[in-house]
Every structure is written in C-alpha cells, then in structure tokens.
Structure 1
C-alpha cells in the first residue's frame, strides 16, 4: 500500500434495455445495497455518484444505454476482495442478463492519493487499454501493475467473462 497513490477503477456496461425496463429491475434494485457494501469494504476511498446514490443517471457516452461505475481504493487487493468475493460476486454472475458483451469494459490505474477521477479521465484510460493493452497507465486485474512507488504485484483473479 502506498500513501502517495490509490487505485482508480472504472467499469462501463451497455444495458440490454432502458434503466427503467423490468428486465433491468433486479440490477437497479441491488444498486443501493451493493454501493453500501463497497463503501463499508476495507480499502474503499471514494465512488462516483450522480444525482442519487449511484451513477446510473450520468451519461458518459452519447449512447444513453452505457452505464458507468467508478471508484477509488487504497490498493488492488482491497478492490479485488470486494469485486470477487461476497455479495458483489452474485451481481457479477448475472451481468449477462442486464448488459451486452463488451471486450473492454473495465480498467484500473494509479491516481495520486486524494484525487477523484473525472469521467473524461476514465474514458481516456479505457481507450488506452483498448488501444495498447495493459500498461502501467491502464491495466486489469489479470495483468496488474504496481503503484509508481511500489514493488511488482501479482494478479488478483481473472476477470469474469
């Protein structure tokens, strides 16, 4: 863990139906619970919010069906524990019910401690990952990079397909 750097992450998804469609209801109904779990998780620092308690009302792209989630954690292990263990994993397993497949939907990067990334910054990191694959500037759980002032890190887990 670095006092100078924190792990930023963003994930996007293209909804299979509008956010108020019954097909998406279970996902929407789980947002407050999952967001509360994230905020109570060891290592959680910050998450993007719109007008409500989630970011579903934000429109990161011209396509209104693309949803965004972004957060900051103290390290990759803390984020990995939240993402791949506990109740969040139950939601991830149902992702195909609510979202279309995307080749690049999540990216991790190191941000200065205290920095809250912008949506444009997150989109830029997703584009970097898509164009160049994992690098120190945009990476994944499967191919992680250490913070700029740390030793190398081991992969946490493979991303869910």
Structure 2
C-alpha cells in the first residue's frame, strides 16, 4: 500500500505544480504528459521511485519548485535523483549542442531507469508533436531531426523492451504524420 501512496502523492503534487498549464500548442492539461509517462513506466516494469520520477520529471524544469522542495515533500532521494537526471539545466536553442547536453545524456546513459524514462518521455513528446504536424510542420520536422540525431545512443543502450518499443512506435507515428502531410 505504501507504494501506491507514494505514487498517488507524486501525481497529486505534480498536478498541483502544473495546475492551469497546457501542453505547448495543445489544449491538453499539462499533467496528462507526466501521467502518460508514468503509465508507461508501470508497463515497463519500473519500480516505485522511477514511477514517482516520471510524475515529477518536469516539476522543477517548468515551475518555481526546487529539488529541496521535492525532498522536503517526502519524496525519496532516488526518485528525486531520477527526476533530476531527466531535467535540463541549460537554455536550449534550436541546435543546442553544448557541453552541458553531452553531460546530460552521459548521466542518463549511466542509469538504466533514467534511460528508460528518457525514452518514454521523448516517446510521449513525439506523439504530441505528431498531433500538431498540420499546424506546426516546421517545428515537427526539426523535432524529428533532433530526435534522430540525439537518441540513437540512448535507444541502443536501453535494455527495457517496453521503453524501446514505445519510443520506436512514437517515432514512427511522427514520421507517418509528416509523410501524410506532404
């Protein structure tokens, strides 16, 4: 029962942190994104800390909350560490090839749970981008190009079959959406 409580607490915390926010270019409540990533984390067989991290992974990046706030709220150090591994700390541009990015991906590659979560997070983002191809084709093409450039090493290293399959299906979904709109 404590596992379920930790996950419910994280979902409630994330929902409160993202209240009133929507996904970029979509009318969907923002909380739907971390909820979907967490659902896939469950399907991937990841543990409680990884599921909690899936729910919290955008809280610090997208709000004024801090890592200390998450720890003070009672989330495990492991869950907070995983969420931190997924969080970008630099200003990203169109072609953000910085030493920070290399460090970011390097740290993710060292942790199997973070690696699976990163693929699941990107998979959900790819699906959302596929939904807006008609309105934001140029953005969708750039996002696909960036994914093809940055994610092969992560995909190859990931040993979680569900994360790999979900990522591959989502990538194909965006490719198909772009092809259909030519």
User: Fold match, TM over 0.5?
Assistant: no
Query: Which structure features the higher share of helix residues?
Result: 2
What TM-score, normalized to structure 1? 0.33
Which structure has the larger Rg over C-alpha atoms?
2
Query: Which structure features the higher share of strand residues?
Result: 1
What TM-score, normalized to structure 2? 0.30
